[in-house]
Amino acid sequence: MTQPSRSTPFAAIVLGAVALLGFPSAHAQEQVLNLYSARHYQTDEALYSNFTRSTGIKINRVDTDDAALIQRLKTEGAASPADVVLMVDAARLWRAETDGMFLPIKSRVLEQRIPATLRGKDDGNGSQWFGFSTRARVVVYNKIKVKAQDVDTYEKLADAANKGRFCSRSGSHPYNLSLFGAYLEHAGPANTENWLKGLVANMARDPKGGDTDQIKAVASGECSVALSNTYYIARLMRSNKPDDRQVMEQVGVIFPNQQSWGTHVNVAGGAVARHAKNRAAAISFLEYLASDEAQRYFADGNNEYPSATGVKTANPALEALGSFKQELIPISVVGQNTVKVQQMLDRVGYK
């Protein structure tokens, strides 16, 4: 199918309606976009309603987690009604890309707005996915029990000085897999496996819970240091609950490796589904997600960093966390490394 001209206004895209599996039937002239999303953030509702208001394109949505989303796409095959797929992790995006779930696209808007390191593979026909927001994986530590200089790099978390201090969510959770995949790219296989072995040796307890649980465990003294994505921290900082505010008074936040390769960042991204029936609308939606308006929703609504070049936000928590040096390796490489990392986790006993 010929892709629309970049000058085509969103609202001018006229798409034929088809009977869609799992979606309500559409009127003959109704413009539709069928979205499969692993994003479960209430603030995203404004993104969808604003896109519909400005374009007249109705969004039909299926919400599920990333694994179920990929399985659904596989099961539906060519009959899938999905036009756009949204996912929230580099490893998951890479897996879906590897499984052939995405359609490569060329868009001057997306290529200008989204840095090359935050895009999927491009074999000459266009990138397979684009990152629309990022979150940094940082160190949180108990300010009473730990000195900041003892945990200011990822490497130091495995030092003997931090024995019995470290708590973690599952090593196999995609947020950790992506960090470990990035570490592998920087440090090589032998150093990475030794580092993971050191993390296991330093654990205060078996891995459990999510990132917010790790932050609260550090504040309570159950452990003294942990890893978290920044948007969990920003949520607690912006919370109106006194208990959340008290948690953040107990913990410090460090952007690791500022003197070396920089802090690891993960990505939430989107792609056109391989068998999209409404491709013009799908590309227009992805371009909208790269707009200043949408990028500010990611930042101000869900405490994520905008990925588009030059976008400024008014999020007080992100501003308070400050600027930082981030790693520059391609996110797609991080995803590729996660298979090797999982094997290392199994060998060292990182549950």
Residue 19, C-beta contacts closer than 8 angstroms, at least 6 positions apart = 25
- Which residues are CB-neighbours of 302 under 8 A, at least 6 positions away? 41, 43, 44, 133, 231
232 is in an annotated binding site: yes
Rounded to an integer, what distance in angstroms lies between the CA atom of residue 154 and that of residue 138?
Answer: 9
> Was 350 annotated as part of a binding site?
no
Q: Residues, the chain, total?
A: 351
Q: Which residues contact 240 (CB under 8 A, 6 or more apart)?
A: none
SS3 for 148?
Answer: helix
126-130 contacts, C-beta under 8 A, 24 or more apart:
128/97, 128/102, 128/103, 128/104, 128/271, 129/87, 129/93, 129/96, 129/97, 129/102, 129/269, 129/270, 129/271, 130/269, 130/270, 130/271, 130/286, 130/289, 130/290
Rounded Cα–Cα distance for residues 169 and 213 (Å)? 8
Q: How many helices (H) and strands (E) does the chain have?
A: 13, 9
Q: Is there a contact between 322 and 328 (Cβ–Cβ < 8 Å)?
A: no
| 175 annotated to bind ligand | no
Q: Residue 136 belongs to what H/E stretch? A: strand 130-142
- Known binding-site residues for Fe cation equal 40, 231-232
- Known binding-site residues equal 40, 231-232
